[in-house]
Structure 1
């Protein structure tokens, strides 16, 4: 290749950082500065990773298995690999593609086509190293496309992280739901056993002529109701196990007989009520939306560059000879250099329309980014608002269980003494069953609320034990411009 050609390529490689993309500016946050009770806020919050978030070893084992086997997460990882490869493809366009070629040709010409009037056999052999149609990125078109591919890759990585967090939260919620329904099943079994004792008691009183047949039939009806309730909760437990097995992606190991009141299940870390809304920017969906916005911003640079000339270089250097043995002899040197210039003059408005599309897509991504922040703010605010009320509701429900237990004891004593009919016992037992089941539901809501808050704040980093979510990293510098 000639020295001028090499000089042009070298100069092009040195023109790094030139782009016509507009300066990126992070949109202003469309939500208040704080989320929750500002008076209780903190400048920084340590949100534990999922290993520390869930102290129950059985739950941690299930989450680990799910992260290894879940098909949705596997697809997310493959999407990341695809985006990474696409970024490498776009980045490769910034460098010339150099290839080595060797070719040979033997051709027989008939006599009527030969200048000498005799048939001839011609041979040509060549070996060369060349550059095929390398575009000088003087106006940053290729560089903008590379930047767009990079941001798309980073957005896909955030989608992978979001899928990771979602899977952890879904497994935890499914596990807690299974624990709650198993506790409800245990309560229904205890109720069935107590109701059977009541039937035996009423039957004995009826046989002695101390009770009415109405009392007996009411007790038997309550017994069958308890039996149906037990079957219903057994069906829910079986469905919970199936749902959890699908999330885990493998057969479930034997699970202990613990319930929601066990410390390993009920102890979930908490966060302060007041948080700076800047923590929301670290959620993977918001970070991904910003990367998508950056990609759209870079595409504007590629669309602008289409209005300017495109210079491409094609060249080769090597050896050529009519004889194979003469390829590397003196005088066989051969080279070619073919620059080309393409200047858009008239395209029917295509370039202007492409630029308009790129700018509209940038504006669409701004709206999506702001919408993601608003959704995140609402999710966190709702979770924080529900947390205190759920704790108070759980305390009230526990007090209600104690009161209804005492009411049942008194009703049963009055029935045995003949001071009241069996209807009072039925009402008291029904109220106790409802209170116990409702306490299980409220406890489940309280625990799943913490998981919801954990997920809403963008927790679940697998690679570290804790994530500092209250301090937002400094804005990344954009690519230098020429």
Structure 2
């Protein structure tokens, strides 16, 4: 009889239905193609972008080494990894509720009863010993527990995607910090070179002033240029130190001197980015993947809320042996068993179950909106990156041409001043213009490289697209 009841219960549990709504991915709320116009390059029309690992995108070996250190030591990324493990454990807890709970218990009691409490008037010592094997099981006939398990599983997947998003953000942050440090070092060097030029001009103007050729105004302007260059040197010295501190924070350790940037700020430090269609972002960007997993989790929660309207059936039983003597605990005739099925049917709960279901459905709708918002944000970030890619290339080239023109202007102004053709004001204007143009060129180059890194991040680069992460007991 016991086997028959267990067989019926097992069949009922395995045949339980699911009240989770059929999941359908929301339609993409963005265009099928990237924007077109003067700010954008002509796209190749490739149907799918090729994966580009960060080791391929960042060509500088020092930068690649720094990124590797950050991926090992960064504390924020470590927290993200621990969050994944925490949600893995929560999923295992929820999954365990689907299976019977089996426990083995043993116990014994020995008590003395006084004579005035005993019918015989004599004191009595009694003993009882037992060993039991108990089973408790809630039959998941309407899929409440399986819905909760599915919700926990999708939340675990979402956390794993969040870890991947944090990883990509860290890679981009290290690259941007390294490029910023490189730019500020270049600006510091430009300021030092300019200071030398201004000091030479000041010395020349001082000699001219001493012999009555230069005016006091020209001498004052020359000194002003020197002081301005000194201010810039201190400014960039401070920024370089702060850039190193920011890089150390991302690495989780101090930056070794041999890993500091020592080359020119050039575009060839980064590889060309393969760009596919907007639909690629659905499979490549971890934030979109995370939003969809969260949507799936909210969808599964609706199934649990619906199942709460139906009866909950639990089976509790035990089989074992009991005896008044420890030595006779397993003797013939000492066995016993209990079987206690129970059912709980919701009748009146002041609308609580209906409110829980409504809340689950509203939460699902919120997740739909957040999923669509994540897609729109990704589309905008990539579109902005594509526009920046083309416009910065032209802007940097124009700034390079202006730099060459300014260098020629300074050379001619210096010759004309030394030969007495032009005043010092012309030379001063040429020096200041060249200083400003050199600073602007470095700033534009930095902005170009940072925009490339941000486009790499927006495209979901640096993360190999894999199957859903495996959890214990799952494929």
User: How far has the Cα of 1:44 moved from its partner?
Assistant: 1.9
Q: Report the counterpart of residue 100 of structure 1 in structure 2.
A: 104
CA distance in 2 between counterparts of 1:331 and 1:238 reads 85
Residues 307-356 of structure 1, C-alpha deviations (whole Å, 9 max, x = no match)? 11100011111111111111111111111110001111111111111100
Residue 85 (structure 1) aligned with residue 89 (structure 2): yes
User: 191, 195, 198: which is aligned to 1:192?
Assistant: 195
Deviates more, 1:111-120 or 1:188-197: 111-120
Q: How does 1:142-161 map to 2 (within 5 A)?
A: 142-161=145-164
Q: Distance in 1 between matches of 2:169 and 2:147?
A: 33
TM-superposition CA deviations, 1:444-465 (whole Å, max 9, x none): 111111110111111122xx5x
* 2:114 match: 110
The answer to whether the 8 Å contact 1:309/1:341 transfers is yes
Residue from 333, 336, 342 that aligns with 1:334: 336
Partner of 1:425: 427
1:159-308 to 2 correspondences below 5 Å: 159-254=162-257, 255-256=259-260, 258-261=262-265, 266-272=268-274, 275-282=276-283, 283-308=285-310
CA RMSD of aligned residues (A): 1.8
Please state how far the C-alpha of 1:257 moved relative to its aligned partner.
5.3
Structure with greater contact order relative to length (CA < 8 Å, sep ≥ 6): 1
Relative to 1, partners in 2 of residues 1:303 and 1:247: Cα closer, same or farther, differing over 3 Å?
same
Q: Which is worse superposed, 48-57 or 410-419?
A: 48-57
Structure 1 gap segments, 5+ residues each: 475-482
The whole-number CA distance in structure 2 between the counterparts of 1:6 and 1:320 is 23
**Once the 2 structures are TM-superposed, how far is the Cα of residue 144 of structure 1 from its aligned partner?**
0.2
8 Å CA contact 2:49, 2:277 repeated in 1: no
State the shift of 1:364 in Å.
Answer: 0.5
Q: TM-score, normalised by structure 1?
A: 0.92
Contact kept, 8 Å, 1:176 with 1:260, in 2: the verdict is no
CA distance in 1, matches of 2:155, 2:261: 46
Tell me if the contact between 1:266 and 1:447 (Cα under 8 Å) persists in the aligned partners. no
User: Contact between 2:147 and 2:303, CA under 8 Å: does it hold in 1?
Assistant: yes
Q: Report the counterpart of residue 125 of structure 1 in structure 2.
A: 129
How far apart are residue 52 of structure 1 and its match? Answer: 1.5
User: Quick one: distance in 1 between partners of 2:121 and 2:261?
Assistant: 102
Question: Offset of 1:106 from its aligned partner?
Answer: 1.2
8 Å contact 1:411–1:424 — kept in the other structure?
Answer: yes
The CA deviation at 1:117 is 3.4
Q: Is the 8 A contact 1:131 1:315 kept in 2?
A: yes
Partner residue, 1:51: 55
Query: What is the alpha-carbon distance in structure 2 between the residues aligned to residue 348 and residue 144 of structure 1?
Result: 24
Q: Is the 8 A contact 2:59 2:271 kept in 1?
A: no
Q: Retained in 1: the 8 A contact 2:131–2:321?
A: yes
Cα distance, 1:256 vs. partner? 4.5
- Match in the other structure for 2:21: 22
CA distance in 2, matches of 1:14, 1:302: 17
Q: Distance in 2 between matches of 1:438 and 1:259?
A: 18
| Number of the residue aligned with 1:313 | 315
Q: Does 1:34 align with 2:33?
A: yes
Matched, 1:454 2:456: yes
TM-score when scaled to structure 2?
0.93
Structure 1 residues 353-368: aligned runs within 5 Å: 353-368=355-370
The Cα offsets for residues 96-127 of structure 1, whole Å up to 9 and x where unpaired, read as 11111001111222233334332221111111
Q: Distance in 2 between matches of 1:247 and 1:420?
A: 52
Q: Is contact 2:158-2:290 (8 Å) kept?
A: yes
Question: Which stretch shows the higher mean deviation, 198-207 or 371-380?
Answer: 198-207
Q: CA deviation at 1:78?
A: 1.3
Q: How far did residue 9 of structure 1 move?
A: 4.1
3-state SS in 1 of match to 2:197:
helix
- Report the Cα distance in structure 2 between the residues aligned to 1:63 and 1:393, rounded to whole angstroms: 29
Query: How far apart in 2 are the matches of 1:360 and 1:217?
Result: 71
Moved more, 48-57 or 186-195: 48-57
How far does the alpha carbon of each residue in 1:351-404 deviate from its partner, in whole angstroms, 9 at most, with x for none? 111100100000010011011111111111111011100000000000000000
Q: Distance in 1 between matches of 2:243 and 2:260?
A: 15
Say which is worse superposed, 394-403 or 49-58, in terms of deviation.
Answer: 49-58
Gap regions ≥5 residues in structure 2: 37-41, 469-475
The equivalent of 2:471 in structure 1 is: none
Cα distance per residue 1:187-225 (max 9 Å; x no partner): 001100111111122222233333223222211211111
Q: 1:336 to 1:145 in 2, by over 3 A?
A: same
Give the paired residue count.
461
Residues 13 and 95, structure 1, Cα contact 8 Å, conserved in 2: no
Distance of 1:5 and 1:27 partners within structure 2: 45
Cα drift, residue 244 of structure 1 = 1.0
SS of equivalent residue, structure 2 residue 51? strand
